[in-house]
Amino acid sequence: MAMRKSKQETALTRERIVRAAASEFRQHGIVATGLADLMSAAGLTHGGFYRHFDSKDQLVAEASAVALAATTEKIAAAASREPGRKGLEAVVCGYLSTAHRDNPRDGCLLAALGNELARADVETRNTATAAFLKMVDIVSGKIDEAKPEEAKKRAMVAVSTMIGALTMSRIVTDAALSKSLLRNAEECLTSSGGASW
Amino acid sequence: MAMRKSKQETALTRERIVRAAASEFRQHGIVATGLADLMSAAGLTHGGFYRHFDSKDQLVAEASAVALAATTEKIAAAASREPGRKGLEAVVCGYLSTAHRDNPRDGCLLAALGNELARADVETRNTATAAFLKMVDIVSGKIDEAKPEEAKKRAMVAVSTMIGALTMSRIVTDAALSKSLLRNAEECLTSSGGASW
DNA sequence: TGTACATCAGTGAACGCGCGTTCACTGATGTAC
DNA sequence: TGTACATCAGTGAACGCGCGTTCACTGATGTAC
């Protein structure tokens, strides 16, 4: 049963653990996810964990980085599909979809872990900060009717709105309200010249 | 040492536990807060917990209700201080203040526990839903330039923005960025006739 | 190319610890007469 | 009003359990000659 694996297999195993962690943390939260759960989700026993990582915190940092990279890539892809405001709409619609709401395990880490990230160690929070700024930059690049500085401000608020609305849509027990939350935020963020509030 | 307390004292003790829980949960998260920590924060030993509550989940529900009631009251108070848009500004400035950011233990539960609330039991989530709607109603009442239905939509988005921006301001490791997050959201939510995004 | 040996990925049991929960006990409170 | 007794808030020890972490062991991989 127990046996050494080739270097290639070892690297794949490590990736598998990180991906499983990225999913499990987003689904159940960091504190609530045990290493044993996580390793068995990756198809391994928990004893082997420390061949790959120094601690749970290190895995949290790596898994967070992987999860955030996936999200920024998705957002960048949606943004580049169409130019200007149309691209912005694609980003917002994707982020504020019921599919995203119902699948935190492969969705945005910032919305899935919010408060736990605020309590995570510095490395993880640095990664989260960088990812947030990247999202802001992508969105900002799609607001072409404003000066860059102003566009960045608006983008920062827009991303905050997306995170807040998605988070609330997952908390709320009323299905209609949950959907309204997503749709209202979407409308508000994509209405071009309309009134603000 | 161990002795029976009067009914009056018992009621006060119970209140003390709920208030301590409301603080500790918001500061450290629900899962990360142990009953022993919590009881000693209330000046008691952990053994006595079950004289007052059936389970940790029951305390979570009660503490959440108390915390959320305090926040909706604060918001209502700020809103009623001045009429119309001025009142809205007071609400937003208070919510998006650095004082609020730096003191989750007596701040908004929705921002402090975000993702953990999404995983809490139904009773707790119902309470959170009701509190969110109350906040939306208060804000909505201050948007007097729009029709009630439209005002409610905007209020829902505004509250989502507030929660998202406060959450992000706590995650981010860059102090200047953290402050920008709060200020940009504040500006955006209080600028009257300006462009949207 | 083939043989001998060191390496180390993964297993499964164990470590101490703190969790939520239970319980025997204490002794002042509250009640019955 | 005073006495006798039941109640029960709070203590502190203990319950089983799962946590993060460590470790002896296995045996195929990788390396040295």
CA–CA distance, A19 with B67 (Å, rounded to integer): 36
The pLDDT value given to residue A194: 38
Q: How many interchain CB pairs under 8 A, A with B?
A: 182
Closest nucleotide (C1' vs CA) to A48 is C10
Q: What is the pLDDT of residues A140-179, one digit of tens each?
A: 999 999 999 999 999 999 999 999 999 999 999 999 999 9
The answer to whether B160 contacts A153, with C-beta atoms less than 8 Å apart, is no
CA distances from A72 to A42, A66, A79, B16, B156 (A): 24, 10, 10, 44, 26
Torsion angle, CA of A48/A52/A54/A59, rounded to 10 degrees?
A: -100
Concatenated DSSP letters of A61-87: HHHHHHHHHHHHHHHHHHHHHS-HHHH
Nearest one of A58, A78, A61 to A141, comparing CA atoms: A78
Indicate the DSSP class of residue A104.
Answer: G
Q: Are A98 and A182 in contact (CB under 8 A)?
A: yes
CA–CA distance, B107 with B82 (Å, rounded to integer): 22
Q: CB of A7 under 7 A from strand D?
A: yes
CA–CA distance, A185 with A193 (Å, rounded to integer): 15
Residues 120-179 of B with CB under 8 A from A: 122, 125-126, 128-129, 132-133, 143, 145-146, 153-154, 156-165, 167-168, 170-174, 177
Q: CB of A51 under 7 A from strand D?
A: no
Q: What percent of chain B has pLDDT over 70?
A: 95
In this prediction, residues A119-142 reach a mean pLDDT of 98
Radius of gyration of chain B (CA): 19
The pLDDT value given to residue B192: 57
Q: CB of A44 under 7 A from strand D?
A: no
Inform me whether the C-beta atom of residue B3 falls under 8 Å from chain A C-beta atoms.
no
Enter the pTM of the model.
0.95
The answer to whether B111 contacts A115, with C-beta atoms less than 8 Å apart, is yes
The pLDDT value given to residue B44: 96
Helix (H, G, I), strand (E, B) or coil at B133: helix
Residues of A in contact with B188 (CB under 8 A): 153-154, 157, 196
The answer to whether B170 contacts A29, with C-beta atoms less than 8 Å apart, is no
Distance B51 CA to C33 C1' (A): 30
Q: What is the pLDDT of residues B58-106, one digit of tens each?
A: 999 999 999 999 999 999 999 999 998 999 999 999 999 999 999 999 9
Nearest one of A84, A74, A9, A157 to B160, comparing CA atoms: A157
Whether the CA torsion B64, B65, B69, B70 is positive or negative: it is negative
Nearest one of B80, B154, B99 to A187, comparing CA atoms: B154
The answer to whether A115 contacts B118, with C-beta atoms less than 8 Å apart, is no
Please report where in the chains the tokens 């609530």 appear, as a residue: A32
Residues of A in contact with B91 (CB under 8 A): none
Residue nearest to nucleotide D19 (CA to C1'): A34
Q: CB of A28 under 7 A from strand D?
A: no
Bases along strand C below 7 A from a protein CB: 7-14, 18-30
Residues of B in contact with A170 (CB under 8 A): 115, 118
Using the predicted structure, report yes or no on whether residue B35 has a pLDDT greater than 50. Answer: yes
Would you give the end-to-end CA distance of chain B in angstroms?
63
Shortest Cα distance, chain A CAs vs residue B157, angstroms = 5
Q: What is the pLDDT of residues A29-80, one digit of tens each?
A: 999 999 999 999 999 999 999 999 999 999 999 999 999 999 999 999 999 9
Residues of B in contact with A146 (CB under 8 A): 195
Q: Are A121 and B152 in contact (CB under 8 A)?
A: no
CA–CA distance, B107 with A124 (Å, rounded to integer): 24
Residues 81-120 of B with CB under 8 A from A: 88, 104, 110-119
Shortest Cα distance, chain A CAs vs residue B164, angstroms = 4
The pLDDT value given to residue A4: 81
